[in-house]
């Protein structure tokens, strides 16, 4: 038996005895990063493009936070249930981003009173922000777990 075979066999024996496996887990910080970035990015763009006052942007953030609570409460429930699922991290991310985008559309439709409120520049910016930040932030992390 060669030295490489001996090393491979001893590594296999070690991994079998210790039962160390790589498990991918979802990070709760993703939810908060995605939520806050989706709220902040459109406001920062507004500040840059239209030179709005900081006070107005703070009020906008506060209202955005309050109006987005139902969407992100549902988002958190789905997030929790997806943690137990064995589907890929990419598919989980698509589901969560989809919930966020759908929630943005529903929120703006309810605020405006009709579906025309969904087809505005503001909604478009929030949707694009949600897509970009949802893709940008990392959902999964690999950690060693002992079985």
For 116-140, give the DSSP string. Answer: GGGSSHHHHHHHHHHHHHHHHS--E
Mean pLDDT of the chain: 83
- Across 11-15, 81-85, 113-117, 128-132, least confident range: 11-15
Among candidate residues 144, 134, 59, the one with its CA nearest the CA of residue 103 = 134
Helix or strand holding residue 105 (H, E) = helix 89-112
Tokens for 92, please give them. Answer: 């989980």
CB 138 within 8 A of CB 123: no
Read off the pLDDT of residues 54-83 as tens digits, 9 standing for 90 and up.
888 899 899 999 999 999 999 999 999 998
pTM: 0.76
- d(CA 59, CA 82) in angstroms, rounded, equals 33
Give the pLDDT of residue 24: 56
Give the pLDDT of residue 32: 94
With vertex at residue 76, the alpha carbon angle to CA 71 and CA 79, rounded to the nearest 5 degrees, is 125
* HSE, side-chain direction, 13 A CA sphere, residue 128: 11
For 88, the 3-state DSSP assignment is coil
């Amino acid at each position: 038996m060669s030295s490489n075979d001996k090393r491979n066999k001893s590594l296999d024996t070690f991994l079998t005895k210790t039962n160390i496996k790589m498990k991918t887990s979802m990070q709760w910080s993703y939810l908060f990063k995605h939520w806050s970035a989706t709220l902040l990015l459109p406001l920062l763009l507004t500040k840059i493009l239209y030179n709005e006052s900081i006070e107005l942007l703070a009020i906008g953030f506060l209202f955005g936070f309050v109006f987005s609570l139902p969407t992100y409460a549902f988002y958190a429930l789905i997030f929790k249930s997806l943690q137990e699922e064995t589907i890929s991290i990419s598919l989980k991310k698509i589901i969560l981003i989809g919930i966020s985008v759908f929630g943005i559309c529903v929120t703006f439709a309810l605020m405006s009173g009709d579906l025309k409120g969904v087809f505005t520049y503001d909604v478009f910016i929030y949707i694009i922000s949600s897509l970009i930040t949802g893709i940008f932030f990392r959902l999964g992390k690999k950690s060693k777990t002992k079985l």
